[in-house]
Structure 1
Amino acid sequence: MVVQTVPLKDLVARVDLGLTVLCGAGALHRPVRWAHVSELEDPTPYLVGEELLLTAGVRFPSDVPAYVAGLVSSGVSAIGFGIEPEFPTVPSSLVEACEAQGMPLLEVPPSTPFLAVSQALGALLAEIAVREQRMLADSQRVLTRAATRVRPVESVLTTLAVVLNCRADLVDPASAPEDVASLAARVSSGRGPRSASAQVGEDHVTFDPVESAVLVVRRVTPLSPAERAVVAVALALLGLLRRDLESERGQVARLAASAVLRSQVSGVEKVLGPGPYRVVAGESRADYDVLAQRYGPLVSVLDGGFLALVASGVEVSGPVGVSSPVAETGVERAVDEASALLARALATGEPAYPAADLASLVDPVAAREFARRQLAPLLGRPELIGTLRVWLAQHGGWDRAATVLGVHRNSVRHRISHVERLLDRDLGTADARAALWLALTWLD
């Protein structure tokens, strides 16, 4: 069983406890599992590691350096010394021994019972448990949503990378990067461990088999137990998707080969009749299935979504980008237009058509420069741009934006606050919202 921990600094930060760090300020990142009260001269037989050892010095040790050395060897994270009634101040010999051996030492004031420290630690542990359960639930929702897109494997990997702030790759052991090839081969062989982790350079790397491939997750910091559970959700989805894709591979390859709309489109009039035509860009598997059933080879799986060539007057629904009407020779330009409109459609949940108002009156070059100038601090941060787009499209509604994004409403609030700080703008004003919405519209 994995026992949750709290960084020592979080306990020290509790103002109500009044704890004072006497030494070891550089080690406040240490994890604490529980608080243990002991007045024994040698409590080490009763310790298991990562405790905050609380003592008032009732049986103060005669050999203080040896006492501290025993606690260090037992894996104690810190000592909390309660002043009064035994000692009016923390003994200098204890401060010196802790400082010499790198043991954090906290002074517990007379007004703070040891029970209050234990209760505060319990409350912090409960907060972390709730936060991680919420993170796991949110991650399950967004990963499942990603699995319904047209390029489900790529979407799940991208979503996992965003959720865990990591790099996630599904690799063939035979062609895996050199630095992870050996472990990837062992994990996929079925003869060794079915999962593994290792330090590769500066990264903590985990390896998990997925059918004949291996999921490789790289991050600077190790994954927490809750984050490993998120990886397990991704593994289950990827396993199902890989099996489904194997059976569909031939059909998808034929469709993609015959229907890439950026290349020459032949026989359009036989399927759609005389022009003009529109290009539709989307991500939803359901929207793709509807159009594929109706238009067959004129619907193409491409770049994590799909493109479809449809008759100009066709009715579409759902979050799709729809181009202006074009002749057969204008399909290339229409693909670019529909793809750019898709981001707006995903934010609003409705079809997005070319602007027929103010946006259409602005010079495209000037509009693009305006957009990049307005959004400069956010460029390279797709999660913030995406959240801002959805939040504005949902008229600043936290719950509606959270539903569209598939995250908790507090995550939306946190991201929008970060956007406000980066842009140094109050997003509560109509002027700021209007300017940023136009900038997002013109960004692509």
Structure 2
Amino acid sequence: MARVDLGLTVLCGADALDRPIRWAHVSELEDPTPYLVGEELLLTAGVRFPSDVPAYVAGLVSSGVSAIGFGVEPEYPTVPSSLVAACATQGMPLLEVPPSTPFLAVSQALGALLAEIAVREQRMLADSQRALTRAATRVRPVESVLTTLAVVLNCRADLVDPATAPSELASLVARVASGTGPRSASAQLGDEHVTLDPVESAVLVVRRVTPLSPAERAVVAVALALLGLLRRDVESERGRIARLAASAVLRARASGLAGVLGPGPYRVVAGRSRADHDVLAQTYGPLVSKVEDGFLALVPAGFEVSGPVGVSSPVAESEVPGGEIPGGEILGAAGEASALLARALATGEPAFPASDLSCLVDPVAARAFARRELAALLGRPELIDTLRAWLGQHGSWDRAAAVLGVHRNSVRHRISHVERLLGRDLGTADARASLWLALTWLG
């Protein structure tokens, strides 16, 4: 209890004051354990103080009582030394309640605190749900949901494949993923508390120094639901993209259009605008497929593109007779082009892989740099999108507003908020260049 006005004094067990307390319970019974359910603050004035004090405290410990509050006067002028000694020996927090503080005041203060905590947890849960839902709409939704979960819970969140699980977690991950063991699990690894939950064929591993509260477990449940849907969608979409691209090549070869496509290598182009779609469809009709709210097209590597499209790395023909394009390479190229589309939409120009300093930087180091630079924005995808669009349009409020589909004043407001959160002056070339690279490397 952090209420100074109550005048409570901690006599022992200060290192265990972080135990959860669900309510205050007043009892003058010599053995109140039949009426306890655990996590109480037990209040007593010693009206029927037991003769065997160590056994009394042991019973409270076994019943899960979180702390004892002893009210001095009128029965005892001070807290009995035998109770202090028993609590100190058995690790039970003991509080002295002064005569000026009625037990009712302690109960009311605890009730108000619990209500405040409940409201705060509900607000945290609602805010986290909104953040996770927005993250699920990003270009790389699975990675975005994991990043957002890590931010809102101040933890490390990873989606682990049973085949590549860390050795210290391998057995737990295998059991949780198989469905033959527990549907979830938790463990203490060194200083970290780890929870594991299945997500389709993978396992969500959350690591944190402190255990998750019930409200935080509810946040994880939201993330699990979204990740389950996203993984099913991703697998379904990947299979559909692979089938569409492969069937497009087969149809082109079967219908005599292989000469139009020409010899490899090829690239996959991802875009959203109807105009870009129509330009590509005029020449490569069978090789252009609609996907979600945009399109994917397979084109020769030398085809000149324009407008806001993402363009993949070259995809080569296989060396087997017939020169078929490997389906796995098409799938990877489609994912790469779709990821680059976000940058293209911000700049209004085609985005190519490794067309800047990215090709000179270790990918792991680049991503770590990006997360450090943008740490204050990771839970605010609308600010990240606004910053990307504004920088991509060279600081133009009007053009950035057009890209985002919002009023220019909204862009000004968001950018000023970004400056406050990051503590950076976006009027400097150094800050703009650093943040543009961070946005590029963030993925």
* TM-score range normalised by the length of the shorter chain: 0.5 to 0.7
1:111, 1:119 → 2: CA distance?
15
Deviations 1:91-114 (A, max 9, x none): 333223323333221111122111
Structure 1 unaligned segments of length 5 or more: list them. 1-10, 262-269, 273-286, 311-315, 358-389, 402-411, 420-426, 428-432
1:437, 1:226 → 2: CA distance?
42
- Check 1:58–1:161 CA distance in 2 against 1; reply closer, same or farther (3 A cut): same
Report the residue type matching 1:60 in the other structure: F
1:288, 1:321 → 2: CA distance?
22
Residue of structure 1 aligned with 2:12, choices 23, 28, 31: 23
Report the residue type matching 1:242 in the other structure: R
Q: CA deviation at 1:395?
A: 6.5
2:62 aligned with 1:76: no
RMSD across aligned C-alpha pairs, in angstroms? 4.3
Aligned to 2:95: 106
2:82 aligned with 1:43: no
TM-score (norm 2): 0.63
Highest CA radius of gyration, 1 or 2? 2
Question: Could you tell me whether the CA contact under 8 Å between 1:187 and 1:194 is conserved in 2?
Answer: yes
- Check 1:243–1:103 CA distance in 2 against 1; reply closer, same or farther (3 A cut): closer
Question: Could you tell me whether the CA contact under 8 Å between 2:310 and 2:339 is conserved in 1?
Answer: no
Aligned to 1:215: 204
Aligned to 1:169: 158
2:429, 2:100 → 1: CA distance?
57
Give 3-state SS (helix, strand or coil) of 1:332's partner. coil
2:52 aligned with 1:58: no
1:216, 1:331 → 2: CA distance?
31
Question: Could you tell me whether the CA contact under 8 Å between 2:176 and 2:185 is conserved in 1?
Answer: yes
Aligned to 2:74: 85
1:54, 1:354 → 2: CA distance?
65
Aligned to 1:306: 340
- Check 1:52–1:348 CA distance in 2 against 1; reply closer, same or farther (3 A cut): same
Residue of structure 1 aligned with 2:174, choices 168, 180, 185: 185
Q: CA deviation at 1:441?
A: 2.3
Aligned to 2:120: 131
Alignment of 1:218-237 (within 5 A): 218-237=207-226
Report the residue type matching 2:267 in the other structure: S
Q: CA deviation at 1:16?
A: 2.4
TM-score (norm 1): 0.63
- Check 1:438–1:132 CA distance in 2 against 1; reply closer, same or farther (3 A cut): farther
Deviations 1:334-360 (A, max 9, x none): 999xx99x9986245854346489xxx
1:119, 1:174 → 2: CA distance?
53
Identity %: 68
Give 3-state SS (helix, strand or coil) of 1:52's partner. strand
Question: Could you tell me whether the CA contact under 8 Å between 1:164 and 1:227 is conserved in 2?
Answer: yes
Aligned residues: 337
Report the residue type matching 2:355 in the other structure: E
Q: CA deviation at 1:237?
A: 1.1
Question: Could you tell me whether the CA contact under 8 Å between 2:311 and 2:337 is conserved in 1?
Answer: no
Structure 2 unaligned segments of length 5 or more: list them. 247-265, 271-278, 282-290, 298-306, 313-333, 360-366, 378-382, 397-409, 438-443
1:22, 1:29 → 2: CA distance?
15
Question: Could you tell me whether the CA contact under 8 Å between 2:269 and 2:309 is conserved in 1?
Answer: no
Residue of structure 1 aligned with 2:385, choices 343, 346, 350: 346
Report the residue type matching 2:44 in the other structure: T
Q: CA deviation at 1:117?
A: 0.9
- Check 1:333–1:442 CA distance in 2 against 1; reply closer, same or farther (3 A cut): closer
- Check 1:303–1:219 CA distance in 2 against 1; reply closer, same or farther (3 A cut): farther
Q: CA deviation at 1:169?
A: 1.9
